[in-house]
Structure 1
Amino acid sequence: MGPSETDETLESFGPDIGSRSGGLAGAREWFVVEGSRTRVAALLSVAVFVLLVLLHEVGIISFANPNSVTRVASGMIAGTFSLVTLVVSVNQLILSQEFSAAGKARDRLDGVMEFRRDIADNAAVSATPATPTRALELIVESIRDDAEKLDAAVADHDRDVREEITRYTNDVRRRTERVAEMLERAEYGSFTAVSAAINYDEAWHLYAATHLRGEYADSLSPVAIDRLDELTDSLKLFNVAREQFKTTYLQRELTRFSQLTIYFGVPSILSAIVIGLLYAEFTGPSVSATVLPYVVSALTVVVLLPLTLLASYILRTATVTRRTASIGPMIPQKDPDEGPFDVTYGEQR
């Protein structure tokens, strides 16, 4: 496939992770991944309260029947117990990954140390920064520098080859600059850092680099090939670092979710019990009929807190995992027919 067959820009076919902004899409992005999980849970709780009150005001639901309300309260107690049990199981699964024998712990440490040495060698520094955010910044700087060197190495090449490589390197620089800006504002432990890591579609750039090397192997000078290989190595380092960073963050996120669920689990069960006790009198509810709908709605919101927390945290963790479900130049998010590259079996024979 010659350059004339790839008029569409190379950057048009990446997964576009985190590119949604503005309007409804921006609000959805905040709700699903960007926003604080506790704020999202609080927003869901407020929405539940408003919904219950509105349904009561229009006459769709009623809080006057003791049998119906107590049955609902009993079901909520059972559901809360089940949810707390599930969270405890998830927490045990996370903890099981932290327990390891001396040999396994040493292998993990050796792997991390070797990876840190690779980053330091690639970036030509004495040691890799301790914080993952700074380590990612260093790799991003290496990628951008390698792209600039590759662009300079093809300056005297044929026009078609030079334009194709330049389009690629320009996109690499533009996207890495965007990620670098996000990382500068990020703090370790915040989702901003993770968002910056998954925002860079290095899988696409790695795929494009591999294809360009094979396509123009005979047209590129030895220096240009070396620069392209160096860029590929830097992209591989970023892929590994992102996966490590994402795994560490998800462990912290799920652990935090487990803590919050336990914290709110007891008030949730107590609130469900109180709802049942409100209707324990033979003469009817022990609270005035005027305020009863608001009291029961508020208690119901407390009962559902573990569920709203579950929804807010699972939305983010599932979305992050889905958007980064690729290893190297494998991009399951894209349609098989998309992209400027097309290959045919045996075309280089």
Structure 2
Amino acid sequence: MGVTAIHGPGMLLVAVAIDAMSGPLVRFGDVELIARVPSEVRADIDALARQEGVGVRMNWSGDPEVAAWGLSMGATQAWELSAEGHVQRTDRVISEALLVAPELAEDPYGTETIVHWWDIREQPVNPGGWPVTADQDRPRWEWTPLESVGPLWYEMSPQQVAAALGGEVPAARRGHFPHYWYGESAQWYLEEDRFDEAGVTAHATSSPRRAPVGAPATEKPAVSWSRFHPALGVWAALISSGDGSSGMWDQRTACRSCHPSTAVAGLLCSCAGADMAPGQVWSSRAGAPACASLFGSSWDSIPAGSMRGTSTE
């Protein structure tokens, strides 16, 4: 029924998470909290908080949090069934909520109980500035399917990637030790480098297969492919590309990833969901911009959406 019961010491209930898609429609006073446009529910929470004389702050995801009520809002992508019967993203983000007991209310996501349920420390850290780069400040990159993305060519070494991005030092690196019995004395294998200034994450592989390049929607650069722009109607562009190739649209991979994708061109689209943590500014959710992962021809399937392993951030 879209409810997660979170238990603390003594196996006593201390928090309830309400899912945006399938949870009950929770009301507080005259405010409906669940499955609404985040900006609208934020305005209603602000108005009610002023009436009751309590403070509202922004939580880690840029959503309202009220310690006096034990309320921490969130938002997630809205989904629907396509005409073909598979699940796909919509253009909407809708609200969800974490409701906690008094002992967790001051810092819900910092408490041990909630960290055990969902550790937000695994999420990317906001550097503290406005998280969206203006279009006029982004370089324009051309994408050549299965070959290159702007100055980045598949099968570049990590050093070549950094040099192509102007010598930028990765803000974070993630990798793993493949042979656990040797521990950290064995060779460490790089999985990804995140370049915050360029707005690019470069994924690496120790095998001869080519690795993908990811570009977050809230950062730069803007990548174009022929006349199609990934942030503006990629789904329709892929379906209506009209090139006559039978493999242009891969229904199987679209169902598995729930994003528009094509294995022929090496494109996997995703959605940033505007999860913008406030850092040192009061940023909040604004919508659901698109982002894209571009990968090389020798990948035999769509790469996983997240990379697990040892972080050297």
TM-score normalised according to structure 1 size: 0.21
Q: Select the structure of larger CA radius of gyration.
A: 1
**Higher share of residues assigned helix:** 1
Q: Which has the higher contact order (CA 8 A, sep 6+)?
A: 1
Larger strand proportion, structure 1 or 2? 2
TM-score after normalising by structure 2:
0.23
